[in-house]
Chain A
Amino acid sequence: MSGDDDRRSARHQRDAGDPGPRGNRIRPSRDGVRPSRWMELLLRAVLTADETEHLLGDLREEHAARACRLGRRAAEREYRRDVRELLASRLRARGGYATDALRRQLRHGFRALARRPVFTVATVSTLAVGLGGAATIAGLARSVLRPLPFPESDRLVAVRETLDGTETPVAPANYLDWRRELASFDGGLAAHRPVSTSLTVDGTAFRARIAVVSGNYFNVLGVDLALGRGFDPSLDTAFPERHAIVSHRTWTDRFGSDPGILGRTFLVEDQQYQIVGVAPDGLASPEPGLVAWLRSPTEAPEIRALGDRVPTLRDAWYFAVVGRLVPSATLEGAREELAGLASRLERLHPDTNERRGALLRPLLDETTGDFRPILTSLAAAVLLLLMASAVNMTHLAYSRWADTAGERAVRVALGAGRAAVVGPVVVEGAILGLAGALAGYGLAHAALAHGVSAFPDVVPRAAEVTLGAAAVIAVVSVGMGLGIGISLVAFGVAGGHGAAGRRVAVRGRGLAVRHRGAVARRLGAAERIGGWRGQGLIAAQTAAAIALLASAALLGRSLWSLARVDLGFDVKRVATVRIAQPDARLRSYAERIAAYEDLRARVTRLPGIGEVAFAARSPLTMGLQAGLRVEGWERPDPPGNVSWAPVHHDHFRALGIPLVAGRLFGPSDRADAAHVAVVNEALARSVFPGGDPVGRVVTIGLDGHDRPLTIVGVVGDTRTRGPAAPPGPVLFRPITQTDRFSADAVLLIARTGPVGATDGGGPTERAAGQTRSVGQASPTGWPAPAHRAEPSDLARIQETLRAARPDMPVYDAALGVDLAGAFGRSQASLLGIVGVFALATTLLGAVGVYGVAAHATRRRRREIGVRMALGADGRRVLGTIVGRGLARAALGIPFGVLASLAVGRGLRSLLVGVRPYDPAVLASVCGIVLLVTACALFVPAREAARTDPADATRAD
């Protein structure tokens, strides 16, 4: 600032119309003209009391003088400028001293750490792994368990039916009764069923996922549409017209964001739907990526072929139900009401509803499902890891401060103050903490970005997993807190600053710290504490390493088992694609089937392709479920429900599913022939235990129980409920006879290799008629079978299909191994995450063990030297050190085993072919950890064993 400024502003003031000195009637009072009180308050707040007094006096004096000279307003402005400038220069000066001191401390800190690279790297990486693990799991938990993106989402619940306590989807008639009768729900219950179907927009046909929903679906969730009024939410509306709400994405991509989209139409298969709304951007309910939501004309999500019978069906279970509790209702109250209604329905409809109940839980629980126990066990494992990190750091820090205790004592003796001695401890701790925190955050970020999001099927809502700004703050503050805290604790244990009440005596190079009470307390006492801690450290780290390695081993073992599970069909020789018929030109069911049959025949003629078939669903999925009734049924309990699978007659041969009894379907099982069925072994076992199902007559709910079917054969099971669960009961029907199946799309299954060929005795052998036990060997590890399906086979098949019928979409091409491969993905991705932590913990454990042993050995150097001078040989010294260390590590084994059992229980839903308490796994994990510990002990032990007795005894 210069005088120029001053004058300029004064002039400016006059130009701006200030009346100037004469305009202000300054009446100098006893205390002059008062400047603004605020500025004085500000000054008082920033400056110390004895500074303030004369400064405020000076300022007021100047203000009064300026008020006379320049006018009151200009004076006020000048006054403010003065205050601002004064504050700035004061703060600069004060900050300057503080910054200088801080900078000096930081420089010292960095130098001290740079002089100890091993200590620094070990500490930072220890902390980084611990914090990284914790942040990863916390990020996962936060993302997965946070509220659903709907208003008052805590009031949203999911309702399921149960059969003997096992969850099933909901049947239409039961849903409609619930919706009419239950009072706990706001706007009634809403039903939904996502399906794949063919859509035609402006003449372009494509395959897409849609959801068939009840009219009140959007109202129940509380979703506001981007456009349009949506469905009529009332129940029992007679409405023949078909309404649809399209997704925001579909609106922009397929309809060019047409503002006049409402009222436009598109085709779903062969039926026309009118658009009554556009969903808000990003709506991912009931699943992400849906193209449209259709209102079902039957009020319950329909299966079209079932037509008007849908509202009366009580034994076809195929959709999910959500509801919004009224504010006065509690979860318990709603459960009671639901249970009461379910038991009333059970009495009213014993045929279909016997042993059927209903289950209600928060929608968030439904969405996060099985992941909660996994999350809990991961959190426990990571907590263990963080604890191990902290213990490890404590030890590292202890050894760092114990090493320099002598130097510190000298400084204290020479008059260094408390602050000068403790300052570096805090600063070093802070530097280490910050570095560890940043590295840990990086690890967590990488783990979440690359590890978790890549596997949406293990982590529900995985796409939404992120670390927020709060996580950065949390990680950094925990890291710095740990860094400083541990540094101080270790410093205290290592002798502290040796001031206040202690007399520090420096005798030559020896050192003694005496308490005032004259009871000598050598630093050794502190070292004994350190030693004790060291023991605890080794045990704790052993425990953490065992727990994490055990989880990794269990997951690894499960993956291995999964690869060897017999899925029940010839995985290696199968190629599959889906084909759809989007158009309405082929009206009749027979014509649709004929179109598929034509394509099937074309594929069969390809060289290198054996049997080809088509079916409603893949051999690894459950498909629709329906109630089964058996003629001449005498047992009191109903036969239960079964999966229903329309298949081509060559289906079993194409998949290599063996015939167990009776016959397979043949070309003679035409639409006009007697209706027949083939059942799988699981159905035969559960419905006809000890009896022969062949020849029995049954009906199923989806067919309305009006068509008797004669069971003609029994085939082997495929893993319809996943690789780990026992196969469910399946009833197959010739696809020619199932005209109530919409047949809008089928799975084409081709078997590579010549017709009827087998691989000649390999483990993949599937000779028809041969029965196998579950869990029998799989392809892995065996010589590749002869006619293995290759991606090129898939390409040829797709090409043939497209050339023959360009109007029929071909999609979802997959080899049998791809279908099977999806099974291990959850385990594989979790193994990736847990495996990294397990490895890190084991390494950290090894570093910690090494540190403790090295430190202890160094302390006992003289003792070892004396022993060796007295004739102990090196090998014996080595053995003692390793043995003692191992004994300490062994202390951690019981804790580790207990922790592994807990973690294993949490992972149970992912374990296949191995129990959480598998003794072989636990034993080998303990063995590995002890082996690593022994290796870590070996290094310092060997050094000790090479001690030169003369050197050691001369040393201090």
Chain B
Amino acid sequence: MPKTLGELEQLVLLAIVALGDDAYGASIRREIARRTDRDVRSGAIYTVLERLERNDLVASHVGEPTPERGGRRKRHYRMRGDGARALEVSLDRMRRMAHGLDERIAGLAGEGRA
């Protein structure tokens, strides 16, 4: 049974999936911002990445130096099997929990606004 993922962990893992080979700190952050309109501070991203790596959910390697970044290398992240399974379980759980509740949630939210 994989560990339950937090929300930010899910977001980061999803971003890694979306970015494929181009997942590194700055791109992950941009991806999350682009898709969710949410600007996560880099400190939080790195903390999450470190934790995911420690728990063997993602792996990282240092790439070649790139001129755009003042000649600095990127640390690329890729999903590991455990990470994918954990993400699958988390999302599945969320989907099943939310199943058929969309309308009611929207209704309640509308009520709250009114």
Contact = CB atoms under 8 A, between A and B. Distances in A.
A56 B41 CA distance: 15
A39 to B, nearest CB: 13
Interface in B40-87: 40-44, 46-47, 50, 62, 66-75
Interface in A50-75: 50, 53-62, 64-65
B25 A58 contact: yes
Given A54-B73, A57-B70, A64-B68, A1 B26 contact: no
Nearest to A85: B43
A34 B71 CA distance: 12
A368 interface: no
Given A3-B38, A53-B62, A88 B25 contact: no
A90 interface: yes
A34 B70 contact: yes
B33 interface: yes
B69 A57 contact: yes
A59 B68 contact: no
Contacts of B88: none
Given A3-B33, A54-B62, A89-B47, A60 B69 contact: yes
Contact of B39 (A6, A32, A55): A6
A55 B70 contact: no
Contacts of B69: 31-32, 56-58, 60-61
A18 interface: no
Nearest to A52: B72
Given A2-B38, A34-B70, A93-B50, A54 B75 contact: yes
A82 B42 contact: yes
Contacts of B33: 3
Nearest to B51: A93
Contact of B74 (A2, A50, A58): A58
Contact of B72 (A5, A54, A81): A54
Nearest to A84: B43
Interface of A: 1-3, 5-6, 30-32, 34, 50, 53-62, 64-65, 81-82, 85-90, 93
Contacts of A87: 43
A30 B65 CA distance: 13
B72 A53 contact: yes
Contacts of B40: 1
Given A57-B74, A89-B47, A3 B68 contact: no
B29 A62 contact: yes
Contact of A55 (B38, B46, B66, B71): B46
B37 interface: yes
Contacts, number: 89
A222 to B, nearest CB: 59
Contacts of B24: 54, 58
Contact of A3 (B25, B26, B39, B50): B39
Given A6-B39, A54-B24, A89 B67 contact: no
Contacts of A89: 43-44, 46-47
Interface of B: 24-26, 29-30, 33, 37-44, 46-47, 50, 62, 66-75
A54 B42 contact: no
A53 B71 CA distance: 10
A912 to B, nearest CB: 75
Given A86-B42, A87-B43, 6 more contacts: A2-B38, A2-B39, A57-B66, A58-B69, A62-B30, A82-B41
A3 to B, nearest CB: 4
Contacts of B44: 85, 89
Closest 3 CB pairs of A and B: A57-B72, A89-B43, A54-B75
A87 B46 CA distance: 11
Contacts of B38: 2-3
25 contacts: A1-B39, A6-B39, A30-B67, A31-B67, A31-B70, A31-B71, A32-B69, A34-B70, A50-B62, A54-B24, A55-B46, A57-B69, A57-B73, A57-B74, A58-B29, A58-B42, A59-B26, A59-B42, A64-B68, A85-B44, A86-B46, A87-B43, A88-B43, A89-B46, A93-B47
A62 B24 CA distance: 12
Contacts of A32: 68-70
A628 to B, nearest CB: 92
A90 B74 contact: no
A85 B41 contact: yes
Contacts of A59: 26, 42
Contacts of A2: 38-39
A943 B26 CA distance: 74
A90 B43 contact: yes
Nearest to A81: B41
Nearest to B66: A57
Contacts of A55: 25, 42, 46
A290 B4 CA distance: 80
A10 B25 CA distance: 22
Contacts of A82: 41-43
Nearest to A57: B72
B50 to A, nearest CB: 7
Contacts of B30: 62, 65
Nearest to A1: B41
Contacts of B50: 93
A56 B37 contact: no
Contacts of A53: 62, 72-73, 75
Of listed A54, A59, A87, residue having the most chain B CB within 10 A = A54
A538 B73 CA distance: 67
B43 A86 contact: yes
A93 B51 CA distance: 10
A60 B70 contact: yes
A64 B70 CA distance: 11
Given A3-B33, A86-B46, A62 B26 contact: yes
Contacts of A65: 30
A801 B99 CA distance: 106
Of listed A5, A31, A81, residue having the most chain B CB within 10 A = A31
Contacts of B71: 31
B44 to A, nearest CB: 7
Nearest to A65: B30
A65 B71 CA distance: 16
A88 B42 CA distance: 11
Nearest to B39: A3
A59 B43 CA distance: 11
B59 to A, nearest CB: 14
B38 to A, nearest CB: 5
Contacts of B70: 31-32, 34, 56-57, 60
A86 B47 CA distance: 9
A58 B26 contact: yes
A82 B24 CA distance: 16
A89 B66 CA distance: 26
A34 B30 CA distance: 20
Contacts of A85: 41-44
Given A32-B68, A89-B46, A54 B39 contact: no
Of listed A31, A61, A65, residue having the most chain B CB within 10 A = A61
B72 A60 contact: yes
Of listed B41, B66, B68, residue having the most chain A CB within 10 A = B41
Given A31-B67, A32-B70, A61-B69, A54 B25 contact: yes
B73 to A, nearest CB: 5
A47 to B, nearest CB: 10
Contacts of A1: 39-41
A58 B40 CA distance: 14
Nearest to A87: B43
A417 B70 CA distance: 43
